[in-house]
């Protein structure tokens, strides 16, 4: 997919990629038919932080659109997403309830709208529990595996932190691997809570405890809305979040 994307960038993205897969003949037929008829009936923008310059273009398309997994500053556009303030707040509160006082907040893009909301959630949860924190406990990043690794390297094996919140499953695995290579026991020496809760949490050892987002529901609800009677029925909504306890806290 990366290879396709890079070339698409150079050549102009006018290729439809079909990977509905799973060998269902009816789905395949529908997908091909759609391309033949050019009958696209809606646009789902998944996890895209839209450039302001493109807002007008999108509005002019006269095709229903909806943002999935992305809270928007521009409140005119409908989105289906988690409440990112709550993500930061609930994750932090969960760790505090487990007895942690020195909690790191790792790999969130603090320059983004959603990153800021999560940070505010973290900050408010700490303050509401009369806990101090310093800015070094908060590590800016882009949700990547290597953000997790480099954060752990920055803190080192003697870190005063007893718990970390990673802003993605992959960032949490980066923290985990680096901590284990230091010989630190997870969760005894260091607890790790990751945000997202995809299948990745289940295939690493120890399994990662997560603040789980409802990605499936976001997608299904988004499709429902796109095929609803009227574009005017579109509204923004939050899908539920929850803590999934596994083995890392």
Q: Find the binding residues for its own copies in span 203-222 (CB under 8 A).
A: 203-205, 215-222
CB–CB of 77/54 below 8 Å? no
Q: Name residues contacting its own copies, limited to 75-134 (CB under 8 A).
A: none
End-to-end CA distance of the chain: 34
Q: Write down the least CB distance from residue 27 to its own copies, Å.
A: 6
Residues in the chain: 249
Q: Does 40 bind its own copies (CB under 8 A)?
A: yes
The binder of its own copies chosen from 96, 110, 131, 180 (CB under 8 A): 180
Q: For the packed helices 113-128 and 84-97, what is the interaxial angle rounded to 10 degrees? A: 30
Nearer to its own copies, 43 or 127 (CB): 43
Q: Does 185 bind its own copies (CB under 8 A)?
A: no
User: Contact region for its own copies (CB under 8 A) — 93-101, 116-124, 151-159, 199-207?
Assistant: 199-207
CB–CB of 126/100 below 8 Å? no
- Give the binding-site size for its own copies (rule: CB under 8 A): 80
Q: Are strands 237-238 and 241-244 parallel, antiparallel or unpaired?
A: unpaired
- Coil, helix or strand at residue 97: helix
Nearer to its own copies, 62 or 130 (CB): 62
Of the CA atoms within 13 Å of residue 119, those in its CB half-sphere come to 19
Q: Write down the least CB distance from residue 231 to its own copies, Å.
A: 14
Q: Does 136 bind its own copies (CB under 8 A)?
A: no
The binder of its own copies chosen from 75, 132, 188, 199 (CB under 8 A): 199
CB–CB of 67/55 below 8 Å? no
């Amino acid at each position: 997919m990366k290879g396709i994307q890079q070339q698409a960038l150079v050549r102009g993205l006018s290729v439809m990629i079909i990977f509905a897969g799973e060998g269902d003949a009816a789905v395949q037929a529908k997908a091909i038919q759609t391309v033949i008829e050019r009958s696209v009936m809606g646009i789902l923008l998944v996890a895209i932080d839209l450039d302001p310059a493109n807002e007008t273009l999108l509005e002019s398309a006269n095709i229903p659109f909806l943002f999935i997994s992305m809270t928007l500053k521009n409140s005119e556009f409908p989105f289906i997403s988690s409440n990112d303030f709550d993500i930061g707040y609930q994750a932090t509160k969960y760790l505090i309830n487990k007895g942690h006082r020195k909690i790191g907040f790792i790999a969130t893009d603090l320059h983004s709208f959603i990153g800021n909301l999560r940070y505010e959630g973290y900050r408010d949860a700490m303050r509401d529990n009369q806990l101090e924190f310093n800015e070094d406990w908060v590590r800016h990043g882009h949700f990547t595996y290597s953000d997790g690794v480099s954060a752990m390297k920055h803190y080192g094996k003697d870190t005063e932190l007893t718990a970390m919140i990673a802003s993605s499953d992959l960032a949490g695995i980066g923290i985990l691997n680096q901590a284990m290579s230091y010989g630190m026991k997870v969760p005894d020496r260091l607890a790790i809570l990751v945000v997202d809760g995809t299948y990745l949490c289940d295939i690493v050892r120890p399994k990662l405890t997560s603040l789980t987002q409802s990605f499936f529901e976001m997608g299904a609800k988004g499709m429902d809305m796109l095929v609803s009677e009227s574009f005017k029925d579109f509204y923004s909504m939050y899908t539920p979040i929850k803590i999934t306890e596994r083995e890392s806290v």
